């Protein structure tokens, strides 16, 4: 009873989505919307709301409303949070310079080279710029950010002005530039949707899949993380939109016509960039994924962190975590995992990776500006969704060894396991909005079914943790989470 009255009821239906104020952008054009990482310290869940066996937090799915809409209007996806303070935005817009103070060398774009003239004020900022300006310490974009749709729309349809190879990384990637200076990272289709990764291939030699990049973005958003830059599918014309516009001579030299008349290319990279592994249009149309580029490193540096549960990337060696069941105790004492929310942030990423069976998370990145107290970027998801017939329990080892999970994540996972939302159903629906869904569903049915199966495994793992805490019942366990979460100030 004490806890019942002490906490506000998180499961009351939201007062519409009005908790987010779309009508009142601040001076920078930022919208005041909840940020998930701040969300829950003041929201409490007690036994009445969480329940011992069932979950009483689901709102009814009204007839006619899609499961995805119902999910995103659920209170767990609409947790109000205070406005983001000035220093918690990634980028700052410089105050306007008076005309008289402007340098005579002001840069003016030359719109003859295919780019648009740029005179951006708050109202006509292109979606990619709005996306950059709305990145905060807590998330890449807000839950109901109205800018994501137009952003994806532009990536999927805008004319390509330039296409060059992206340096770094092991497999072929291109950076595409659009007339409004927006940029996207392209990964080409290398595998048919129903193909499973060859069992004899090690995870580090697996192909990258364009549909995995797309599906990972949708999954990350459905999990309520918003830590993957938006990705959209597109059919590109490899001649008109790559070969003809590229200034990258090394790339241009790798184009050829296959024996059946398809146009192919392979680029330069350390893996699979050879005639034998060329990507080919049909005859020129090629499926690709386009991920919006993050702000340039000169504007927002990023820090790269080695995963403590990194695989050995060797055919013979085992990593320490594979042989030491107590490995997490050491990690918990090691900065930055010893403070704040880094460990539960990491576990969030582990859950995402287990669901999509991504074994390739050797590193993750954060924005340097925010220090240790910020969300983790889930970049590079191309090796996910390789197999549906097999799960990879080793991906879940950090959850098993640490027995920690962010409370809001756990609650959302439980929601997604319920029939009225059902992870596979909301994923199918979300992916059906991608332009490439008209060519073929982005994830085949067995892959969608695997999501539900793996979600059940995650929830079972959490239950086992609860049981392992000897003498501690479920309700106490939840309170422990709550305390831990409050101590971490977020979730
Ligand atoms: N949306 C993005 N915007 C800006 N930079 C990005 C984006 N996505 C990825 N990157 C950067 O590009 C690098 C290479 O991308 P990615 O990891 O997807 O390619 P890869 O070929 O799989 O690389 P690797 O073989 O190293 O895993 C990443 O390490 C990351 O720093
Ligand atoms: Mn990779």
Same domain? 228 vs 315: no
The first and second tokens of residue 368, run together, are 């340097």
Ligand 1 test: best mutation among 152, 165, 169, 232, most atoms within 8 Å of CB?
Answer: 169
The first and second tokens of residue 310, run together, are 């990194």
Q: Are 212 and 413 spatial neighbours (Cβ–Cβ below 8 Å)?
A: no
Q: Are 55 and 416 spatial neighbours (Cβ–Cβ below 8 Å)?
A: no
Q: Is 168 in the pocket of ligand 1 (CB under 6 A)?
A: yes
Same domain? 376 vs 248: no
DSSP single-letter state for residue 137: S
Tell me what pLDDT residue 391 has. 97
pLDDT surpasses 90 at 488:
no
Q: Is 171 in the pocket of ligand 1 (CB under 6 A)?
A: yes
Tell me what pLDDT residue 200 has. 85
Same domain? 275 vs 313: no
12 falls within a domain: no
Same domain? 308 vs 280: no
Q: How far is the CA of 207 from the centre of ligand 2 (A)?
A: 9
CA distance 2 to 19: 27
| Burial category of 98 from C-beta neighbours within 10 Å (exposed 0-12, middle 13-18, buried 19 and up) | exposed
CB atoms within 10 A of CB 64: 6
320 labelled binding-site residue: no
Ligand 1 test: best mutation among 172, 185, 279, most atoms within 8 Å of CB?
Answer: 185
Q: Which residue did the predictor score with more confidence, 475 or 172?
A: 172
ipTM comes to 0.96
Residue range of the domain that includes 450: 302-487
Q: Is 284 helix (H, G, I), strand (E, B) or coil?
A: coil
Same domain? 271 vs 309: no
Using the 3D structure, point to which of 264, 292, 320 is the last residue of a domain.
Answer: 292
11 falls within a domain: no
56 falls within a domain: no
Tokens 């192909």 sit at which residue? 207
Same domain? 239 vs 329: no
Q: Is 78 helix (H, G, I), strand (E, B) or coil?
A: coil
Q: How far is the CA of 360 from the centre of ligand 2 (A)?
A: 7
Q: Are 191 and 280 spatial neighbours (Cβ–Cβ below 8 Å)?
A: no
Tell me what pLDDT residue 482 has. 42
DSSP single-letter state for residue 209: -
pLDDT-derived band at 108, boundaries 50, 70, 90: low
CB atoms within 10 A of CB 148: 22
CA distance 321 to 485: 25
Comparing C-alpha atoms, which of 82, 39, 75 is closest to residue 489?
39
Q: Is 291 in the pocket of ligand 1 (CB under 6 A)?
A: yes
- Bridge-based pairing of strands 183-188 and 285-292 is antiparallel
60 falls within a domain: no
CA distance 484 to 489: 9
pLDDT digits (tens, 9 = 90+) for 437-450: 999 999 999 999 99
Q: Are 220 and 208 spatial neighbours (Cβ–Cβ below 8 Å)?
A: no
Instruction: Provide the H-helix boundaries in 280-326.
Output: 320-323
Q: Is 173 in the pocket of ligand 1 (CB under 6 A)?
A: yes
DSSP E strand stretches across 222-331? 231-237, 256-257, 263-265, 279-280, 285-292, 302-306
Same domain? 312 vs 398: yes
Lowest mean pLDDT among 70-74, 77-81, 459-463: 77-81
Please identify, by atom number, the ligand 1 atom nearest to the C-alpha of residue 380.
Answer: 18
104 falls within a domain: no
Same domain? 224 vs 365: no
Structural domain total, the chain: 2
pLDDT digits (tens, 9 = 90+) for 31-58: 333 333 433 332 223 333 333 333 344 4
Packing angle of the helix pair 474-487, 445-468 (nearest 10 deg):
100
Same domain? 394 vs 481: yes
CA distance 74 to 61: 10
112 falls within a domain: no
208 labelled binding-site residue: yes
Same domain? 410 vs 266: no
Q: How far is the CA of 353 from the centre of ligand 1 (A)?
A: 16
Marked catalytic residue, from 360, 425, 452, 476 = 360
Using the 3D structure, point to which of 271, 292, 313 is the last residue of a domain.
Answer: 292
Q: Is 446 helix (H, G, I), strand (E, B) or coil?
A: helix
Instruction: Please tell me the pTM assigned to this model.
Output: 0.85
Same domain? 280 vs 234: yes
Packing angle of the helix pair 445-468, 423-431 (nearest 10 deg):
140
DSSP single-letter state for residue 376: P
pLDDT digits (tens, 9 = 90+) for 136-182: 999 999 999 999 999 999 999 999 999 999 987 789 999 999 999 99
Residue located nearest, by CA, to atom 10 of ligand 1 = 379
Report the pLDDT averaged over residues 330-355.
98
pLDDT-derived band at 103, boundaries 50, 70, 90: low
pLDDT digits (tens, 9 = 90+) for 257-303: 999 999 999 999 988 899 999 999 999 999 999 999 999 999 999 99
Using the 3D structure, point to which of 266, 292, 318 is the last residue of a domain.
Answer: 292
Q: How far is the CA of 267 from the centre of ligand 1 (A)?
A: 16
Same domain? 178 vs 265: yes
Ligand 1 test: best mutation among 188, 379, 383, most atoms within 8 Å of CB?
Answer: 379
92 falls within a domain: no
76 falls within a domain: no
Please identify, by atom number, the ligand 1 atom nearest to the C-alpha of residue 362.
Answer: 27
Residue located nearest, by CA, to atom 3 of ligand 1 = 293
């Amino acid at each position: 009873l004490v806890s019942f009255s002490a906490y506000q009821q998180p499961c009351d239906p939201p007062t519409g989505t009005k908790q987010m104020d779309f009508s009142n952008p601040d001076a920078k054009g930022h919208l005041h919307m909840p940020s998930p990482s701040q969300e829950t310290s003041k929201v409490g869940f007690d036994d009445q709301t969480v329940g011992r066996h069932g979950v009483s937090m689901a709102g009814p799915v009204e007839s006619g409303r899609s499961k995805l809409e119902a999910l995103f209007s659920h209170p767990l996806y609409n947790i109000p949070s205070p406005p983001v303070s000035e220093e918690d935005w990634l980028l700052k817009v410089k105050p306007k310079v008076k005309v008289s103070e402007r340098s005579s060398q002001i840069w003016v774009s030359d719109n003859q080279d295919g780019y648009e003239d740029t005179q951006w004020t708050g109202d006509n900022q292109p979606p990619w710029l709005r996306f950059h300006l709305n990145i905060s310490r807590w998330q890449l974009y807000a839950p109901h950010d109205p800018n994501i749709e137009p952003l994806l729309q532009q990536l999927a349809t805008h004319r390509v002005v330039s296409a060059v190879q992206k340096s770094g990384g092991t497999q072929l990637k291109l950076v595409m530039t659009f007339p409004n200076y927006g940029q996207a990272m392209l990964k080409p289709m290398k595998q048919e949707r129903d193909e499973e990764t060859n069992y004899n291939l090690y995870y580090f030699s697996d192909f990258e899949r364009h549909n995995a990049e797309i599906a990972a973005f949708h999954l990350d958003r459905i999990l309520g993380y918003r830590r993957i830059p938006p990705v959209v599918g597109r059919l590109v014309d490899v001649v008109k939109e790559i070969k003809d516009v590229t200034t990258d001579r090394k790339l241009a030299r790798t184009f050829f016509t296959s024996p059946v008349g398809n146009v192919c290319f392979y680029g330069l990279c350390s893996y699979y960039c050879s005639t034998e592994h060329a990507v080919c249009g049909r005859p020129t149309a090629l499926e690709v994924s386009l991920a919006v580029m993050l702000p340039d490193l000169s504007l927002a540096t990023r820090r790269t962190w080695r995963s403590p549960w990194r695989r050995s990337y060797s055919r013979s060696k085992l990593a320490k975590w594979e042989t030491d069941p107590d490995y997490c105790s050491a990690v918990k004492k090691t900065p930055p995992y010893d403070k704040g929310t880094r460990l539960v942030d990491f576990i969030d990423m582990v859950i995402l990776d287990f669901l999509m069976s991504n074994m390739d998370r050797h590193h993750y990145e954060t924005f340097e500006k925010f220090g240790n107290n910020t969300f983790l970027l889930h970049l590079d998801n191309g090796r996910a969704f390789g197999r549906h017939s097999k799960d990879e329990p080793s991906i879940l080892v950090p959850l098993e060894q640490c027995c920690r999970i962010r409370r809001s994540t756990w609650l959302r996972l439980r929601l997604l396991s319920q029939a009225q939302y059902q992870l596979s159903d909301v994923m199918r629906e979300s992916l059906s909005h991608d332009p490439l869904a008209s060519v073929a569903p982005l994830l085949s049915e067995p892959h969608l079914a695997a999501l539900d199966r793996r979600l059940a495994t995650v929830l079972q793992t959490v239950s086992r943790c609860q049981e392992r805490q000897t003498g501690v019942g479920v309700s106490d366990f939840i309170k422990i989470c709550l305390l831990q979460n409050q101590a971490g100030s977020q979730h």
